[in-house]
Amino acid sequence: MIRNSSSHGNFGKNLSRAFSEILGDDFIITYRIFNHWFELVPLKIAEKTKPVYFDNGKLSILATTFQWANELRLNKFSFIEKINEKLGEDLVTDLEVYQGSVKKFRGFEKDTKNEKEIALTSKEEEEIEREVQKYDTEFRKTARKMLTFYYIQKKK
């Protein structure tokens, strides 16, 4: 089960609550889905798909081929159920599946011809550092990663 900082007890819940207040619940859910995709879905599916957007319970994903997109559409409800089961709560209520190039969207497989790396401004980096200082040193790395993800997603 992919929970939000559950291994850290109340502090993890408080951290999650703090990020929800700053960034909104959908951002926290998006972060959990995007960063745990390979744990949420079977490897065979994860390699052929990529979550691209989450809003008010609707998860949009990209599939590499028409066949994969069609397969996921046909099994939409069981797929949603399995994702929610791994998340530990019913967060995904609807699924939109598109067909396209997954590679172009993968953070670890940059298509350098068509996609420039998105860099943070020094002001954004300062804001992130100021925000993470509010948290215990044990959680600063996680907080920094989440906030960086948030700023990059805003620029896309």
Q: Measured between alpha carbons, how far is 95 from 60 in angstroms, rounded to an integer? A: 6
pLDDT score recorded for residue 13? 55
* Predicted pLDDT at 150: 75
How many degrees, rounded to 5, is the angle at CA 106 between CA 52 and CA 140? 85
Q: Is 64 exposed, middle or buried, given 0-12, 13-18 or 19+ CB atoms closer than 10 A?
A: middle
Q: How far apart are the first and last CA of the chain?
A: 29
- Mean pLDDT per 10-residue interval, the chain, length 156 residues: 48 56 65 85 90 87 91 93 90 91 49 57 88 74 78 72
